[in-house]
Amino acid sequence: MGHTRRVSDPRPAYTGQRHDDVALRLRERLNVRIALLSTFHDERHFFIGASGLPDDLDRAREIPLIESFCTYVRDHGAQLIVDDVSLEKRVAAHPLIAELGIHSYAGWQITDGAGRIIGVLSVMDDKPRSWTAPELILLMDEAHASAAAVKASIEEQ
């Protein structure tokens, strides 16, 4: 099931369930509250795959870039792993942390064949947690496995 887009709509094409399935699978396997597959365009952060979002954000599927903390992953070109957001200055005061009740975060960059960051795969939980090596390997593997589908969605625009 997709949504209708205007021709001038800058959002990456949302291509049905495939991205949501990635998020749902990751959410279930890691037993987290939220999983997102995100892309960025101009000043917007788009959730092209999501599981566990509150209804209003799930319907909107986007937020202003200024409100996003996945940009830390995109802008620094490396994963961001936070066991307890209250101890991490970069994200502790972020408005979405309080709004979503997030206490832990793990995000991994999604890159195209040339190594450019085209998205972020992230998971969030409502309690602090120590992310384990197997959990982070799963996140990394899913980010790599999602790259072709994310690139295709961006190119469908």
Q: Residue 11 has what pLDDT?
A: 46
SS3 content of the chain, % helix, strand, coil (to 5): 40, 25, 35
Tell whether pTM > 0.85.
no
Alpha helices in the chain (DSSP H): 17-30, 55-60, 71-76, 89-92, 95-100, 133-155
3-state secondary structure of 108: strand
What is the domain partition of the chain in residue ranges?
17-155
3-state secondary structure of 130: coil
Does domain 17-155 bear CATH number 3.40.50.1000? no
CB 111 within 8 A of CB 118: yes
**What tens-digit pLDDT sequence spans the chain (157 residues)?**
333 333 334 444 455 578 889 999 999 999 999 999 888 777 777 788 889 988 888 887 776 665 666 666 767 777 889 999 989 887 777 777 888 889 999 999 988 888 888 888 999 999 999 999 999 999 999 999 998 888 888 777 6
Paired with 44 in beta bridges are 41, 64
